[in-house]
Structure 1
Amino acid sequence: MKIDLIKCHGSGNDFFIIDEISNTYGFTDTQRAELAKAICSRSTDLGADGILYILKSKKADANMRVFNPDGSEASMCGNGLRCVARYVCELLGLEEAIIETMKADLQVKKQEDILADIPTYLVEISPVSFDLIDLPLILEKETLINEKISKISEELSFTALAVPNPHFVSIVEKKHIRSDLQKNISEYLNGPNEFFPDGVNVSFVKPLKKGHIYVRTFERGVGFTNACGTAMSASTLVTCMNGLNEIEKPVEVYNNGGKVSCVVHEKNGKQSIDLIGNASYVFRCQLDVNMDNPIEFTLSKREEYQDEIKQYAKLQEHAQQILKECM
């Protein structure tokens, strides 16, 4: 089977887009999962943090489904949603759209470029829940907000929230960022454990200055990534809850892949977050794959988006300079 691929990224969190609106591939969910495991592996000629399948929707402009490199399906992906937002808006000739995801139909909008000639989109991150049953997190309490769980860490406090995928967020110091603590906690909570039966995204947040934070995330089903959009959104909300930043004011969020901007909103006791950042294309190619054994594939010549690559490198350079000064 021949499949058209676009390699894209949001904040260095990279994906393949597969358009099932314009193409009738007829994938089963098993095939979607097996294809993700085959082509997202970093040991292949491709490699990515996941596949973004774009399908028709009966209630929105398009439906986004996200499959991780281990074949699991994510309920949401903020960086991926920005890439899907761009693809759908350009495909349908729109400035804004509604994208159906597993848990919610979310608004996306084209924005002014975050840096010259870098396509930029705002995506809605919601719903937000602090109910542990929604993650799920197994504890004898209903919520966990800035508290310690001694069996996980004697030193760090965590906040657990779903946005709607599960996040476990700790505000930390420089020494924690530089240690193996996050790796050890993340690997424990994403293996057999008594707390998170389905695993969890684990983020360490280092405040830089008012309105600026650094976020590093171990993503469930992926591992450490350059960035995780829902994690940066959840982390921004947690810093607002702790008085480090303010609701309704933009927060610049730096990550190993670049930077985004997040704005937390609250209405009638419910929170949502705007995630604003790049939606960049890297290359396009055609995959010729044996769907009975997806690890058997060949690729056509890649057509690279050189201008987009060069422009995003400038944003990365700026972000790394800020981190160098503040970290």
Structure 2
Amino acid sequence: MKIQLKKCHGSNNDFILIDEISNSYDFTDKDRENLAIALCDRNSRLGADGILFVMFSDICDAKMRIFNADGSEASMCGNGLRCAGRYLCELLQKDELIVETLKANLKVQKAEYIYNQIPTYQVEISPVLFQLDQLPMMLPKEKLFNEKVTELSQDLLFSAVAVPNPHLISFVDETIIRSNIQKTISEYVNGPNDLFPNGVNVSFVKFIQEGRIYVRTFERGVGFTNACGTAMSASSLVSCLLHLNEIEEEIEVFTNGGKVRCIVHKMNDDYKIDLIGNATFLYEAEIEVELYTPEDFSIVAKTESLEQNEYEQLERHAKEVVDSILF
């Protein structure tokens, strides 16, 4: 069969987007899993961190499902939602809409440019859950905030939050970020272990100054990524709870893939985060694929976009900031 796709990225967290609204595809979940494993393989002619499937919704403007490169399905993906949100806004000719995701219905809207003329979208990140059974994390306590977890480190302090993807966050200095400690911890908690039966996203965060942080994330099902939208959002939230940044104020979040803005909102005892950043389209392609052997796909046609040229200016700006922090 032939499949139309679009390659896109948010903060260089890259995705393949497949439109099930405009096309008569009839995928099973096993098909989606197999397509993700085959098409996202970095050794293939496509390669990505995951596949965004956009589809009809009975309760919202549209629905997004995200399958990671290993075939697992994620609860949500902030960078992916920006890309899917832009695609859906243009498809449905709207400047804002509500997108159904696995655990929440989330608002997406066109936003002011984050840098030069880069297409920019704002997405809602919620719900925010602190209870460890929501990640889940197997510790004999209800919550974990800025505390030691001796099974992982004798020195580092960790916070756990689901947004709704599960995140383990530690604020560290540049020496720790440059070391292999994050890799060791991340691989442990995403392999056979007694703490996280379903794995967890692990972020090490460096506070730069008020209103600025740097985040490096090991994403479950993917590995180290250029950026993870929900991780940047969760890290911004924790920075506010640590009184490093202010609620309701813009926070610039730098990653190896660029930068976004986050704004943390508090409503009574609940929180939500606005994630604001690029949604860049790289190319459109048509592939020929057999669903039983998707690894043998071939690219029939491909049309490049010029949007990446504009994004690379933001990338250079972010790299200068990151290099000044780490090196």
TM range (shorter): over 0.9
Instruction: Note the C-alpha offset of 1:323.
Output: 1.7
Please report how far the alpha carbon of residue 296 of structure 1 lies from its aligned counterpart in structure 2 after TM superposition: 1.2
* 1:45 is aligned to 2:38: no
Could you tell me how far 1:302 is from its partner in structure 2? 2.0
The Cα of 1:268 is off from its aligned counterpart by 1.0
Once superposed, what is the RMSD of the aligned Cα atoms? 0.6
Aligned to 1:195: 195
> Using the alignment, how far apart are the partners of 1:113 and 1:94 within structure 2?
17
State the 1:324 CA deviation.
2.4
1:313 and 2:312 correspond? yes
Verify the 8 A CA contact 2:287 2:301 in the aligned structure 1.
no
Partner of 1:228: 228
The structure 1 segments of at least 4 consecutive aligned residues displaced by more than 3 Å after TM superposition are none
- The match for 2:15 is 15
Counterparts of 2:282 and 2:189, CA distance in 1: 33
Q: Which residue of 2 aligns with 1:324?
A: 323
Name the SS of the counterpart of 2:141 in structure 1: coil
- Displacement of 1:299: 0.1
Q: Please report how far the alpha carbon of residue 217 of structure 1 lies from its aligned counterpart in structure 2 after TM superposition.
A: 0.1
SS in structure 2 at match of 1:150:
coil
Cα distance in 2 between the residues matched to 1:202 and 1:168: 5
CA contact (8 A) 2:139 2:195 kept: yes
2:190/2:220 contact within 8 Å kept: yes
TM-score (norm 2): 0.99
SS in 2 for 1:244: coil
What residue is the counterpart of 1:292 in the other structure? 292
CA-to-partner distance for each residue in 1:149-180, whole Å, 9 max, x for gaps? Answer: 11111110100010001000000001110000
One-letter identity of the residue aligned with 1:317: R
| Unaligned stretches of 5+ residues in structure 2 | none
The superposition leaves residues 85-144 of structure 1 with CA deviations (integer Å, 9 ceiling, x where unpaired) of 100000000000000000000001101111222110000000000000000000100000
Does 1:219 pair with 2:219? Answer: yes
Aligned-partner residue type, residue 304 of structure 1: E
Structure 1: segments with no counterpart, 5+ residues: none
The alpha carbon displacement at 1:201 in A equals 0.1
Q: Which residue of 1 aligns with 2:176?
A: 176
Contact 2:190 2:196 in 1 (8 A): yes
Q: Specify the code of the residue in structure 2 equivalent to 1:322.
A: V
- Give TM-score, length-normalised by structure 1: 0.99
CA distance in 2 between partners of 1:115 and 1:193 (Å): 42
Q: Secondary structure at the match of 2:249?
A: coil
**Paired-residue identity, %:** 58
2:166 match: 166
Q: Which residue of 2 aligns with 1:127?
A: 127
Deviation at 1:326, TM superposition (A): 3.1
Q: Distance in 1 between matches of 2:316 and 2:163?
A: 30
User: Residues of 1 paired with 2:68 and 2:263: CA distance?
Assistant: 27
Matches of 1:61 and 1:101 in 2, distance apart? 11
Query: What CA distance in whole angstroms lies between the structure 2 residues aligned with 1:106 and 1:174?
Result: 34
Specify the code of the residue in structure 2 equivalent to 1:9: H
